[in-house]
Amino acid sequence: MFLNVASLGRMCILLSLTVGVVPAVRARNDCPARADFDQIVGAVAQRFYDKTFNGIDWPSRVAHYRQRVPCAGSAQTVAVLANDLLGELHASHTAVYTRTDLDYWGLNSLFSQHDTDYPLWFSGIWPRHQGGKWYARYVVEGSPAVAAGVRQGDELLSLNGQPFSPTGFTGNPDSLAVSSDGQVSRMLSLTARSESIMQAFITAADASTRINRIGARRIGYFHLWGAREALLQRLKNALGQFQSERIDALVVDLRGGYGGTSLEYLKPIQESPYLMSIPRYFVIDDSVRSGKEMIAATAARDHLAELVGSRSAGAFLGAVPARIDGERYFVLIAAFDGDIPGLPRIEGHGVTPTIRAEPCLLHCRGLDPQWERIAQLIAADSSAVAAAGPVDSRCAYDHKAMLALDPDSFDQALVGGGWRALAQRRCYADAADLIRDYREAHNLEAMILYWHEGQARAMGGQTAQAIELFHRARANASVPWGHYVDATLAFLQRDRRALLVARAALAALPPPRNFHPTDIHGKPLSVRWPPNLNVVDALLQCFDRSYEDAYMSCTAVPGSH
């Protein structure tokens, strides 16, 4: 289970950062595992908020578990027995983690002063273990797992031929077996990134920021994975973008990750007359803990948002960390009660949604019932359109008719048809959303659709989403196309050196044998080799401009893709 760090505003985080590493003073009694157990128990006894230990006979229970610790036991064995003891306290934010636990890395990263501390090979899968099975409770946006095709609710069958382990990724191409329905398995290749959990959450904040279309309504979506200055800033940036683009409704997803958030995270909404004038929804479930429970409860009390989903975790005690035996163990300790004046007690009770929607946990086939419930609410809420004003008719289109087109008509009609009709009117976000909807409606994994959706998002300034899509288009790409994708990625990532390298690789390619392209009537066509070199040259020429400007205004020769 993933625990979050409770917060009374920022005070809790500041307090937690003052707690250092507990010295490794190991008894010389030839029983090192019990010495570790004693240090863990001592740290909890010193800092636990309730000195009656919630009514249990603490010394007796400690002795009971201590005698079961084998002297040569591993860190994992010690942690299991210590957690059995701590479970009797019936208190949140009180547990022991070792290096094999993803929470060891996540909580160390959360309680560190620097975003980059405590890196590991992270796939982007936010897993849960239940009923003897591992499954992807969430898939972190912008992660290798997203690019590989892991979906929410996928059962995680094996990793490199061994039972799945959240910390078992290697940084090399790993083989991950998953099943979306419990019957058919598929093998994915996934290369994890070396990054801290906080770094992954910051990347995810950018990648999650998007505007979805539900009918004629534009819905701003942001996923808040935890508390960090960088995450608060990205929330502010997203809300500023949504306001400037006059969205019709707002969705803030609080699920997954960690807590630690303060009421500062609500201010950008409270202080925006426009955002306060449109429907607002926060998504919650039993993974929402501590500080995120506080902002959910406050939003419900102050009518800042509808809470859609299921009851939150009820984990709201203020926590401090202890690092034991050279950081072999990370111990999270509930150090003070987390009650907030004016809010119902959250610890042990949770926050109740105002609109209930049960989550899908396993074999979801990529579906999210809680998001679907919000979509239903928005579709039925005529006030959303009234609040936002008239829809831009320039970007209007028949969504159902577009989805009914055959693939060639949808994607390859160069003038007046398919998604390009929207792009030609500079309705880039609408075009990108339409391509995504078409791909999902027809269950297509065509590289060209990922590429064209990425181009539309890049044209519209949605750079993080475009980069993620281009990475998916890059998989299994042919050599010329791969160099072109590399060049485009380098441009978007503002890496001129990588752009020059990709340009040189593309230019060096010899044409294939018998390269005599013709049209459908057999007439010779004048086609430059290598393809798209002129586009890459335009990206270099206009390196300091937007992708739209570089691609549309600086490309010298037409006919590029």
Sign of the four-CA dihedral 224, 200, 259, 265? negative
Whether residue 242 lies inside any domain: the answer is no
Is pLDDT above 50 for 88?
Answer: yes
Q: Taking Cα atoms as reference points, which of 226, 293, 284, 263 lies closest to residue 92?
A: 293
Between 518 and 39, whose confidence is greater? 39
Q: Could you tell me which residue, 71 or 411, shows the higher pLDDT?
A: 71
pLDDT mean over 381-409:
67
On the 0-12 / 13-18 / 19+ scale of CB atoms within 10 A, 126 is buried
Which of 14, 2, 33, 1 is CA-nearest to residue 329? 33
Q: Which residues contact 153 (CB under 8 A, 6 or more apart)?
A: 135, 136, 137, 180, 360, 361, 362, 363, 364, 365, 366, 367
| pLDDT greater than 90 at residue 531 | no
Q: How far apart are CA 547 and CA 118, in angstroms?
A: 35
Give pLDDT, residue 357. 93
- Report the range of poorest mean pLDDT among 19-23, 159-163, 394-398, 504-508: 19-23
8 Å CB contact between 220 and 238? yes
Note whether residue 39 is domain-resident: no
Among the candidates 171, 195, 219, a domain finishes at 195
> Are 500 and 461 found together in one domain?
no
Residue 486 resides in a domain? yes
- Region 222-239: what's the mean pLDDT? 96
CATH code of the domain in which 168 resides: 2.30.42.10
Q: Is residue 77 a part of any domain in this protein? A: no
Both structure tokens of 176 = 């991950």
Identify the pLDDT of residue 130.
87
Instruction: Examine the domain organization and report whether 450 and 398 are in the same domain.
Output: yes
Residue 552: predicted pLDDT: 79
Of 35-44, 77-86, 483-492, 522-531, which range is least confident?
522-531
Q: How confident is the model at residue 14 (pLDDT cuts 50, 70, 90)?
A: very low
Q: Please check whether residue 290 lies inside any domain of the structure.
A: no
User: What was the pLDDT predicted at 393?
Assistant: 53
Residues 96, 60: Cα–Cα separation, whole Å: 20
**Is 50 exceeded by the pLDDT of residue 373?**
yes
Q: What are the pLDDT digits (tens) for 168-178?
A: 999 999 999 99
Q: Is residue 251 part of a domain?
A: no
Question: Radius of gyration over alpha carbons of the chain, in Å?
Answer: 26
With beta carbons less than 8 A apart as the criterion, state whether 103 and 4 touch. no
Tell the residue number behind the tokens 């309504």, with chain if given: 217
Backbone region of residue 65 per phi and psi (left: phi > 0; alpha: psi in -120 to 50; beta: other values):
alpha
Q: Would the pLDDT of 64 be above 90?
A: yes
How many domains does the chain divide into?
A: 3
The answer to whether residue 317 is domain-embedded is no
Q: Which domain holds residue 448?
A: 392-467
**Structural domain includes residue 210:** no
Average pLDDT score over the chain:
87
Confirm if 284 and 310 have CB atoms less than 8 A apart: yes
User: Of 467, 489, 510, which one is at a domain's C-terminal end?
Assistant: 467
Please check the confidence at residue 298 and state whether its pLDDT lies above 60: yes
Nearest CA-CA partner of 373 in 472, 283, 299, 465: 283
pLDDT surpasses 50 at 421: yes
Q: What is the DSSP string of 294-330?
A: HHHHHHHHTTS-EEEES-------EEEEEEETTTTEE
**Distances in whole angstroms, Cα of residue 337 to Cα of each of 8, 28, 261, 290, 514:** 10, 37, 16, 11, 76
Q: Give the model confidence (pLDDT) of 98-116 as tens digits.
A: 999 999 999 999 999 999 9
Q: Quick check: 141 pLDDT over 80? A: yes
Structure confidence at residue 10 (pLDDT): 35
pLDDT at residue 476 is higher than 70? no
For 37-172, list the strands marked E by DSSP: 95-97, 120-122, 125-130, 133-139, 155-159, 162-163
394 pLDDT tier (thresholds 50, 70, 90)? low
Domain ends where: 412, 443, 467?
467
- In the predicted structure, residue 337 carries a pLDDT above the cut 70: yes
**520 and 442 share one domain:** no
